[in-house]
Structure 1
Amino acid sequence: MRHPLVMGNWKLNGSTLMVNELILALRKELSGVTGCGVAIAPPAIYLDQAKHALAGSRIDLGAQNVDVNLSGAFTGEASADMLKDVGAKYIIIGHSERRTYHSESDEFIAKKFSVLKDAGLIPVLCIGESEAENEAGETKSVCARQLDAVLNTLGAAAFENAVIAYEPIWAIGTGKSATPAQAQAVHKFIREHIAKQDAEVAKQVIIQYGGSVNAANAAELFTQPDIDGALVGGASLKADAFAVIVKAAAEAKKA
């Protein structure tokens, strides 16, 4: 049976002081919460510090990106083996900010997916449409194309022990959010699209929602049958707000 996963994407935010204070606060807020996986993805420079601050807690460590190469003359990059070595478990790939600002293609992201699977790490594959694509009714075709980059090269089995994060680009950091019904419809489509190749894999894959998830809208989103937690941006930088989201996911699972 699927379990929800709530993961905080800290993006380009943090300091040595902030990492210690935020993780300490999260440990207190979430100490008694069960039934929901929790992870945070700080900037790469703070991964080792975060690992030590998380020691003994049930919060997993994640990272925001990975290179397709394992070693060599690739200045500024971090490999899958390096991320595993510092204790990262969940690795975000395909985020719209990487697709937009670094021109990462579906095919390039599929290579990252493959490298992570080979390393025994868990890819968190971000997919989603722009506002223009949404208004043109292209949401499903865009998501299918982004999924097919993995499905057509690695097969449906690659989604075993993997995570998909549906993040409508028009809802990231804008304060806008898909309604629970809108989000559920896309999550259902994603699951059905994978099920065309393998129904069992589709049934177990975790599909998070990401796009201005906050303390106010989390509970209603998590009541939807195909929404398995969230990939949280801004709200993950505040322990109390992030904890409300985690607790809402845990309560929805119990219900």
Structure 2
Amino acid sequence: MEKEEDDILRKYQHSFRNMKGKIHILEQQVPVEEQMRYFRASERWKKNAGGLLPAYDEECNHWFRKLTDQEEIKSVEEKKELLLNLANSKNPVSFRLLKQYVADGPDPEVANWAYLALMEIQIALESDYSEERQIYISTGMGGKGTKLRFYVLLVSAGRKPFESYQRQVIEREFTYAFSQAGWETETLHVAENYVELLLLIPIAGNIKKVMGDTIRECNEYGHFLSDRYTITNVKPLSEQEIQEILEKADENSQTSD
């Protein structure tokens, strides 16, 4: 891990240590830019609504029927506006309707907005009914419960192809270490000379220690993993981005020789 990434990770973990309140994490993977567009639109909606809330049950049902009516042709913008109506209604009826809409599989054109609308009304209602502070944690890759989803890329030492026993060591050691740390492994893919991981990590999990200790444990069987790795909760890396990182690792290796 580069020093700059190390500093960012340290600040990230420190920010959660003294956090008090109920944490809400969006489970679905929604690009951060799309989340920003949604919440900006929601803020505009609130300013325009004035003191019209909460909405009546009949209004909520009307908005939902209009949203899901297959006979009526609606633009994407109209669907988004209906979702904002439901999200900001401060009515439990809307929460139940949105929850069912998401569970049934929302319209792909507005699926991301449906996920965010459900999260927003849940937080709003819980804030009204509870004295506990409500905290929304936003990342591009979402999460589950109180765990955030991270993508990790590990590379082989010297960009050498992994041998069969090394693949087995990687799978065994990382699976065991993550389980012991309370992490969940969604994906562990060992390619020719790199490893991709998709993990669910508790928000206060000690990422640097777990990753560092496990890499060292693997390297007890021969130094075949680089101690530098890439970690992000914005989006998984593309094949092109992976190859660029591998090429950079080559350059760093040649410079240090």
The normalised TM-score by structure 2 is 0.26
Look at both structures and tell me which one has the larger radius of gyration over its CA atoms: 2
